[in-house]
Chain A
Amino acid sequence: MEDLELLSDFSSFLKEKKEEGKKIIGFISHDNIPEELFDAGGFIPLRLMFGGNDDLMTASHDFLPPSTCAFAQSCIGLFSLKPRSYKFLEFIDYFLVSNHCVSDICASEIISKYFNIPRLNFYISYTKTNNSLTYLKLELQDLKQNLESIMGSKIENEDLLNSIKKYNNFKKKLLEFNKLYVKGSEKLKIIQKALLFGPDFHPTLENIIQKYKENSNDFENTSKDVILTGCSIFINDYIIDLIEEGGANIVFYDTWIGNSYFSQIISDDLIEAEKDPLNLFVHRFNKNIYGDHSVPNFLENKIAQILDMYHQYKQKTGKKLAVINHIIKFCDHISIMSSFFKNKLQDQGIPVLNLERDYSKANKGQLSTRIEAFLEMI
């Protein structure tokens, strides 16, 4: 079921922002997009984070082969079919083409070109050498200049630092929320909403945390606890219901819509010490061990983090966690490493389900069987 209320609230939010003179930048990339730069320049970041369906995927086949990742297909489908509840996509003033993965580049280019949305570029390095970090800095400078010329005003360092602090505080709040023991689907909805609305959601998030703390014993969990890793669960995706109906409760989202996002915090000391705020983004990229971008040791970091979460959880609750590796069909980024990933964790006695799927309805029955069989197995 589509969360029409959320989409309609978001539409009103964007409308308001446009009336205030802000411009909207749409993008697909999951990682390393300097939202703080947009914020400081008077832009609103609109991350495409909406789950797909058969119609959306089919509509994208006018532009790309069906072997493109099902999520990127659905993003194109949204612009092609323009479903009523997604009318807010018409508010997008610029589309950012980035290189989180090949699907990201292809789909973003198509969205910008065929749907006539002026394009911005921002490319991210794939290594962390001196050269690649210098390259990233140049990309940041270019992007900053482009944003300044669109708005006709300079982005002051002080404004940028304030935006960085604002996003940092927001992410810290999300980390606090993430520690609460809450039903997995409820937790996901709140994280999704937070990523969609950005720091404007901070006050609501504080109230939510307060409410959950006051009713901390309300959630009685009879399900098996799991970590979700791999691809994010996007807004309105039925997979979360299948997982819960199958008898699992997600206690940790090791995905972009989850830990990978809000763990990327720039330390306060560094913010104080750094003269050029753009260097803070380079530093964050260089030190980032949480993100999903393909950089050296990405997989080893991921495995180490899951092992860490597993052991911490076991120590705290006495319970063992299982891992669901969510693979959106043709997401090479996640699927290529899935066997290696599964073997590595299974060697440590942690059960892993590589759950590959697209957004088609016909897939539902089989997905339920896989999830239930996995839970029966553990």
Chain B
Amino acid sequence: MKAFIGIDIGSLATKIVLINEGKLVDHRTERSTYNFKKVGHNLFDDILVKNNLKRSEVYVMSTGYGRNTIDIADDRITEITAHAKGAQYFFPDAHSVIDIGGQDSKAILISKKTGNVVDFQMNDKCAAGTGRFLEVMAHALEVPINEFGDLALGSRKPASISSTCTVFAESEVISLFARGASKEDIAAGIHKSISRRVAGMAKRIGVAPKLIFCGGVAKNNAVKKYLVAELGFEIVSPEYPQLTGAIGAALIAQENNN
């Protein structure tokens, strides 16, 4: 086998990576859309062509929400195992992982001895504690999602959002707005709220340094700041936080084939 491909089909984005001799060679990210199979196929064809590879020369491991439905995969692995492996690619001494994706979030505990997963927690189908929560709130405040974190960092006195439910939090935000709270303070309150929820879930399995924060939301510095405050220790994010699962899948494919 010349190379290994990991494809992470998330509910919002599909990520594909090419690994050769344990090193990240190429990667792509695209919105999953309703036709995530087609998106996956296009990304796969593209990465093969650009890297001069034939189908028979690669081994494909799928992960993520659509892992069972994508037919190009030779094997599949859950995003929990994939994220644990991917986090160790960036930080070999990783002990815990928090991944906040579009539709779910998870906390993973990694054995220092074996590098394997020893425990994990996932949030349930509720949107609170996921990227979706931030999207809904950014929309309510009429702020583009990629500016939302920076807006929150400008706050001096974060508003208090007590609801953890997206629906209730949205009406709380509207009433805070009506009472004259600034956008920055409300945004900070929202970021604190999601961080509190995710940190609470992570603490239940006893996360500890070195903790790797990954997933699309890891690019949001306000969530990172409040997560640190809630957890009480520093956390780190990889260079490509949203690729962690796909990289992990490709590395597991490589391990299984050696």
Contacts and interface: CB of A to CB of B under 8 A. Distances in A.
A binds B: yes
A122 to B, nearest CB: 34
Contacts of B117: 373, 376-377
A366 interface: yes
B218 interface: no
Contact of A372 (B65, B78, B118, B124): B78
Nearest to A369: B78
B73 to A, nearest CB: 14
A148 interface: no
B80 A363 contact: no
Contacts of A339: 204
Contacts of B77: 376
Contact of A376 (B80, B119, B122): B80
A47 interface: no
B81 interface: yes
B78 A362 contact: no
Nearest to A352: B119
A372 B65 CA distance: 12
A363 B126 CA distance: 10
A159 interface: no
B125 interface: yes
B235 to A, nearest CB: 22
B14 to A, nearest CB: 15
Contacts of B204: 339
A93 interface: no
A370 interface: yes
Contacts of B148: none
B157 to A, nearest CB: 33
Contacts of B119: 346, 377
Contacts of A369: 65, 78-80, 122
Nearest to B204: A339
Given A373-B78, A373-B80, A376-B80, A360 B120 contact: no
Nearest to B123: A366
A105 B166 CA distance: 31
Interface in A96-111: none
A369 B104 CA distance: 11
Contacts, number: 40
B33 interface: no
A332 interface: no
A370 B122 contact: yes
Nearest to B65: A365
A362 to B, nearest CB: 6
B122 A366 contact: yes
B120 A373 contact: yes
Interface string B121-154: 0101100000000000000000000000000000
Interface residues of A, number: 17
Contacts of A373: 78-81, 117, 120
A355 to B, nearest CB: 11
A58 B122 CA distance: 24
A356 interface: yes
Interface string B93-115: 00000000000100000000000
Nearest to B81: A376
Interface in A307-360: 329, 339, 346, 356-357, 360
B42 interface: no
Given A366-B104, A369-B78, A369-B79, A377 B125 contact: no
Contacts of B116: 377
A363 B124 contact: yes
A339 B120 CA distance: 13
A372 B82 CA distance: 12
Nearest to A373: B80
Interface string B58-98: 00000001001000000001111100000000000000000
B192 to A, nearest CB: 25
Interface in B213-254: none
Contacts of B104: 366
A366 B122 CA distance: 9
A-B residue pairs, 8 tightest by C-beta: A373-B80, A373-B78, A377-B117, A376-B81, A372-B78, A369-B78, A363-B125, A362-B125
21 contacts: A329-B124, A339-B204, A357-B124, A360-B125, A363-B125, A365-B65, A366-B122, A366-B124, A366-B125, A369-B78, A369-B79, A369-B80, A373-B78, A373-B80, A373-B81, A373-B117, A376-B80, A376-B117, A377-B116, A377-B119, A377-B120
Interface of A: 329, 339, 346, 356-357, 360, 362-363, 365-366, 368-370, 372-373, 376-377
Given A356-B124, A360-B125, 9 more contacts: A363-B125, A365-B65, A366-B124, A369-B122, A373-B78, A373-B79, A376-B77, A376-B78, A376-B81
